[in-house]
Chains A and B, each alone.
Chain A
Amino acid sequence: MRLSTQRTQPTYDAIVVGSGAGGGMAAYQLAVAGLKVLLLEAGRQYDPMRETPMFQLPKDAPLRGGGTRDKPFGFYDATVDGGWQVAGEPYTTAPGSEFRWWRARMLGGRTNHWGRISLRMGAYDFKPRSRDGLGADWPITYTDLAPYYDKAEALIGVYGSNEGLENTPDSPNGTLLPPPKPRAVELLTRKACQPLSIPVVPAHLAILTTRQDHAGWPAKLHPGNLLAQRVLRDSMRSRQACFWATECGRGCSIKANFQSTTVLLPPALATGNVDLVTNAMVREVTVDRAGRATGVNYIDKRTRADRHASARVVVLAASACETARILLNSRSTLFPNGLANGSGLVGKYLMDTVGAGLSGQIPALEGVPPHNEDGASGDHLYMPWWLYREQLAGKLGFARGYHVEFGGGRRMPDAGIFGGLEQFTEGAYGKRFKQEARRYYGSFVWFDGRGEMIPNQDCYCELDPTVKDRWGIPVLRFHWKWSDHETKQAAHMVRTFEEIIRAMGGKVVGTVEADGAKVIAKGGQIIHEVGTVRMGADPKTSVLNPWCQAWEVKNLFVTDGAPFVSNADKNPTLSILALAWRTCDHLVGELKRRNL
C-alpha cells in the first residue's frame, strides 16, 4: 500500500508547509478531523523504518563516524541534507553578529535526530514579564495549554516522573511512561548534588520505556472520532518499546522514540486525507484581493518548475526562521512589507537557548566493573532549575533559569575518544597509554546548561537585500547579540558545574572560564530558534492572535516555534507539539463555524 503520493489536487482544505514537529502535528490533526490536506516538505522522502543505521559501528563509517561539514553530528546522525550549511541555500549574518542556523531538509525535519527532551513550560514561563518586568507575556496561560501537553505526551510517549517541583508541572497520573533506572554516573552525581541542594530527578524524554496503551489512548485522545482512533491505534501498535541500545540521534527503526516520520506522519497518511509532496520549496504565500491567503507558490526542486497549490487555509510550520522568511518573501501591494507584517514584527524577537558546558574526570568512576550503560541513549536524570527564590530576591544578577543535562559513563567508544588524555597522563604513550585508557574510560562526566534567553531588539532575522539561494529566493540575514542576562547565566552554569565536579571529588577537564561571554554557545548553536512570528493579545505588538492565527490574514496559521513569546529553559519541541494541536483544534472549529 502506497502511503504517499506526489500527486496534487486542484484545491485543498489546508496546506501545511513543513513536516517536522509542528507540521507533522498539524497534518495529523487536520487529516483526522477529515480535512483534505496538502503537506509540502522542502527535503526528500525519508523512511526511518528502512534507513536508520541501528547498531552500526563507528569502524564501518567514514572517519569512524566523526562529524564533518556534510554530517556535522556524525556520519550515523539521522540528519541528511542538513546541518549548519545547506548546499545552495545560504544565509548571511550582519557585521558583528554570529548566528548559526541548523536546518534538516528531509521529511520530518529536525525531529529525526533531536534530543527527545520533552519538558513542559510552567505557569511562570507564560507570564515572565509579569514576574520580573522583562520580555513579554504570552497571551495564554499554562492552564490553556495544559490539556494539550497532557494529550501530546500521551500521543508521542514520554518517560518521566511527577516531582511536584516549582514551575515544573506534573502530568496527570498514567500519562508519563516509567522513567528508566539511573546509570552509575547519574547516581553518583545525584549524591554529590544533595548537599548542594540541587535537585536531580528523572528526565522527561520522548522514548517508549514500555509500549503505549494502544487500546486505551486512541478513544481518550480522539473521543467520538473513529477515523482518528483507528489510525492512531494502528500507529501505536506498530511502535516497539526501547531495547536499550543504539543512539536516538540516528533515528529509530522500531519507532521507540518520537520522530514526526514514525509517529505523526504514518497515521496522518493512513487517513487517506493527506497528499504529501517532497522536494517542494515554498517561496511565498499567495493572497487574493481581499487579503485572504489562497495558497502557496513552491518550487519543485527536481524540475525547478514553479508550482501553485491552493487551499482554504494555509498553515506554516517550516521552522521559526524559515516561516518568517516565507512571510517576508510574500510581498504584494496589500502587504508590501511581507504578509501579516503590519506590526513590522515578522523576524523580530528571535530567540535561542543559552548553552554552556563543562566536563570533569571523576576518580571514583575509575575501575567500575564493566556493565552495560547504554540505557535510553539520552539522559535518565536531569536537574530542573532550582533557584527561583534566590533569583526573585535579586541575588543572582541574571533574570531567568536553566536546567542541567548531564551524563557520562561507559558509552560506546567513538571518534574523539581519549582526545585530550595528554592532560591527564602527562603524555602517556606505548603500553602505559593502553593502561591509562583502561583507567580513564568511563570516568568522565559532562554537564550542559540549557537556559532561558530574554527576547531583545538586537536579535532578529530579515531578508538579505542582495543574496538569493539557488532557487532565486531571497535569503535570511541574521542579527544577534546576547544581553548580560544570558552571559551571566552562562557564567553561573560553569561555576555550578565546577562545584558539582569538585563535590564528586573530580577534576575539571581544561580550565574554567569565568567570563560568560566566552563560554556561552553562539546564537543558534543550541538549535532552539523560536519567536520570529510571535503571538500576542495586541495586533500592534504581535503577528498572531492567541490562536496562532495571523491578525491580518485570518486563514493563515503558524504551528512551529515561531509563535513563541518567550523561550523558557524547557526545550521547545513538546510545547510546539502542544501548541500546534491547540491551534488545529481552533482552526477546525473555525472552519466548521464557517468563519474561515
Chain B
Amino acid sequence: MSQGPGTGDPGPGGITRRELLGALGAAALPVLGGAGVGRGDGHTGGRAGGLQTEGPAGTPSDPDLLHPKIWWEKVLTAGELTTLTALADAIIPADERSPSASQVGVPDCINEWASAPYDSHREALGQIRDGLVWLDAEAQRRFSRRFDQLVEAEQQQICDEICYLPKAKPELQAAAKFFDLIRDLCATGFYTTREGMKDLQYVGNVPLQRFDGPPPEVLRHLGLA
C-alpha cells in the first residue's frame, strides 16, 4: 500500500497542462476591486445577494485571497542576495523599454520562492545556495573578485559558459542547471510585475463592454484578413 500521491507543487516552468488550465486567462488593473463588484443590476437589493460566509481560515490551504500574505521566513543571507542580485541583473538588465530585475524586486521574489516550505522548493534552495557559492568562487578564481564586483564583460565570460545546458561542459552542468533555474525565476519575477507586463505590452485584465476579437491589423498580420 502506498499513500495517495501528489504534492502537486510544480517547479519553475514545470507547470503541467492541467495546472495551466487552471491558470489561463488571468488578468491586471484592479479597476473595480474585488468583492462588491457584483452588486446586481439595482433590482436585487440584498436578496439573493450571497451566502453568509465564515470567510477564509487564513491557513495555507484556505488563505485570504483578497489580502495575500507570505507566511514563511525568507532565508537567503545578505551575502547570498548580493550575488543573486548581480546575477538577476545580468539576466534581466535595464534597457530602453523596462527596468532591471532588481529594480522591480526580483531578488526578493526569488528569496521568497527559495524559502517556501514545500519539498521541491527546499531542494531548489540547496541548488541555489550551491550555485551562488560556485558563481563567487568562479569569479574569484578568474578575476580575484566576487561576482557582484565584476564588470559586465567579466560577468558575461562566466555566464556564457553556463547559459545553455546542451553546450555547457560536463563539469559545468550543475552550474548551467542553476543558471537556467534562476533565469526561469527571473522571468516569473520580472514579467509578473506591472513593468514586466508593460514591457510585453500585455493589455488585458480590464473590464470590457464587448469582446470584439482581434482587430483588423492583427488579422492582416496573420494573413486572416
Q: State the A residues within 8 Å of B (CB).
A: 1-4, 44-77, 80-85, 87, 90-95, 98-101, 107, 113, 115, 180-184, 187-188, 191, 231, 234-235, 237-238, 240, 242-250, 252-255, 261, 265-267, 269-270, 276, 278, 355, 357, 359, 364-365, 367-378, 405, 407, 410-422, 426-431, 433-434, 437-438, 441-442, 446, 448, 464, 467, 477-478, 521-522, 525-526
Q: Given the interface contacts A56-B34, A187-B222, A412-B25, does A235 sit within 8 Å of B48 by beta carbon? A: yes
Main secondary structure of the interface of A (DSSP, over half): loop
A55 and B24 within 8 A (CB): no
Q: Given the interface contacts A59-B194, A254-B37, A521-B18, does A413 sit within 8 Å of B214 by beta carbon? A: no
CB distance from B179 to the nearest CB of A (A): 8
Residues of B within 8 A of A235 (CB): 48
A-B contact pairs, 26 of them (CB 8 A): A45-B53, A51-B66, A55-B205, A62-B69, A70-B61, A73-B23, A77-B23, A84-B4, A100-B5, A100-B6, A107-B51, A187-B219, A234-B47, A250-B26, A359-B17, A364-B223, A368-B218, A375-B211, A410-B204, A415-B12, A416-B20, A416-B184, A418-B13, A429-B159, A434-B93, A446-B17
B9 and A68 within 8 A (CB): yes
Q: Select one of B28, B44, B53 contacting A237, CB under 8 A.
A: B44
A477 and B1 within 8 A (CB): yes
B199 and A63 within 8 A (CB): no
Q: Report B18-34 residues with CB < 8 Å from chain A CB.
A: 18-34
- Nearest chain A residue, comparing its CB with the CB of B22: A73
Q: Select one of B93, B116, B204 contacting A374, CB under 8 A.
A: B204
A85 and B34 within 8 A (CB): no
B52 and A3 within 8 A (CB): yes
Expressed in whole angstroms, the Cα–Cα distance for A64 and B56 within the complex equals: 20
Q: Mark B157-191, 1 if CB is under 8 A from A, else 0.
A: 00100011101000000000001100110011101
A417 and B34 within 8 A (CB): no
CB distance from A101 to the nearest CB of B (A): 6
Expressed in whole angstroms, the Cα–Cα distance for A92 and B6 within the complex equals: 12
B192 and A187 within 8 A (CB): no
Residues of A within 8 A of B1 (CB): 92-95, 464, 467, 477
A415 and B192 within 8 A (CB): yes
B26 and A247 within 8 A (CB): yes
Expressed in whole angstroms, the Cα–Cα distance for A480 and B80 within the complex equals: 46
- Nearest chain B residue, comparing its CB with the CB of A440: B200
Residues of B within 8 A of A49 (CB): 35, 38, 49-51
Expressed in whole angstroms, the Cα–Cα distance for A500 and B175 within the complex equals: 37
Expressed in whole angstroms, the Cα–Cα distance for A276 and B54 within the complex equals: 13
Q: Select one of A2, A191, A420 contacting B13, CB under 8 A.
A: A420
B9 and A67 within 8 A (CB): yes
A52 and B167 within 8 A (CB): no
Q: Mark B100-133, 1 if CB is under 8 A from A, else 0.
A: 0000000001001100101000000000000000
Expressed in whole angstroms, the Cα–Cα distance for A107 and B53 within the complex equals: 10
Q: Given the interface contacts A46-B51, A413-B196, does A372 sit within 8 Å of B4 by beta carbon? A: no
A429 and B90 within 8 A (CB): yes
B54 and A55 within 8 A (CB): no
Expressed in whole angstroms, the Cα–Cα distance for A50 and B76 within the complex equals: 37
A51 and B200 within 8 A (CB): no
Residues of B within 8 A of A237 (CB): 40-41, 43-44
Q: State whether the Cβ of B77 lies closer than 8 Å to any Cβ in chain A.
A: no
A415 and B165 within 8 A (CB): no
Q: Range of interface residues on chain B?
A: 35 or more
Main secondary structure of the interface of B (DSSP, over half): loop
Residues of B within 8 A of A370 (CB): 201-203
Q: Select one of A75, A255, A371 contacting B214, CB under 8 A.
A: A371
Q: Select one of B8, B56, B90, B159 contacting A83, CB under 8 A.
A: B8
CB distance from B176 to the nearest CB of A (A): 8
B222 and A184 within 8 A (CB): yes
Expressed in whole angstroms, the Cα–Cα distance for A56 and B66 within the complex equals: 8
A369 and B221 within 8 A (CB): yes
Expressed in whole angstroms, the Cα–Cα distance for A429 and B90 within the complex equals: 7
Expressed in whole angstroms, the Cα–Cα distance for A90 and B4 within the complex equals: 7
Expressed in whole angstroms, the Cα–Cα distance for A243 and B207 within the complex equals: 5
Q: Select one of A181, A267, A430, A442 contacting B212, CB under 8 A.
A: A181
B48 and A419 within 8 A (CB): no
Expressed in whole angstroms, the Cα–Cα distance for A371 and B215 within the complex equals: 8
6 closest cross-chain pairs (CB), A and B? A419-B13, A427-B164, A73-B22, A181-B213, A84-B6, A377-B25
Known: A83-B6, A364-B223. 10 other contacts (CB 8 A): A62-B116, A85-B6, A181-B212, A242-B211, A247-B23, A368-B221, A376-B211, A377-B24, A412-B28, A430-B93
Residues of A within 8 A of B191 (CB): 413, 417-418, 437
A47 and B118 within 8 A (CB): no
A63 and B116 within 8 A (CB): yes
Q: State whether the Cβ of B150 lies closer than 8 Å to any Cβ in chain A.
A: no
A411 and B10 within 8 A (CB): no
Q: Given the interface contacts A419-B15, A426-B164, A478-B4, does A265 sit within 8 Å of B44 by beta carbon? A: no
Expressed in whole angstroms, the Cα–Cα distance for A144 and B55 within the complex equals: 41
Q: State whether the Cβ of B144 lies closer than 8 Å to any Cβ in chain A.
A: no
Expressed in whole angstroms, the Cα–Cα distance for A84 and B7 within the complex equals: 7
Expressed in whole angstroms, the Cα–Cα distance for A276 and B29 within the complex equals: 36
B22 and A60 within 8 A (CB): no
A415 and B15 within 8 A (CB): yes
Expressed in whole angstroms, the Cα–Cα distance for A370 and B60 within the complex equals: 37
A55 and B215 within 8 A (CB): no
Expressed in whole angstroms, the Cα–Cα distance for A427 and B161 within the complex equals: 10
- Nearest chain A residue, comparing its CB with the CB of B37: A253
Q: State whether the Cβ of B78 lies closer than 8 Å to any Cβ in chain A.
A: no
Q: Given the interface contacts A3-B52, A417-B187, does A245 sit within 8 Å of B204 by beta carbon? A: yes
B52 and A45 within 8 A (CB): yes
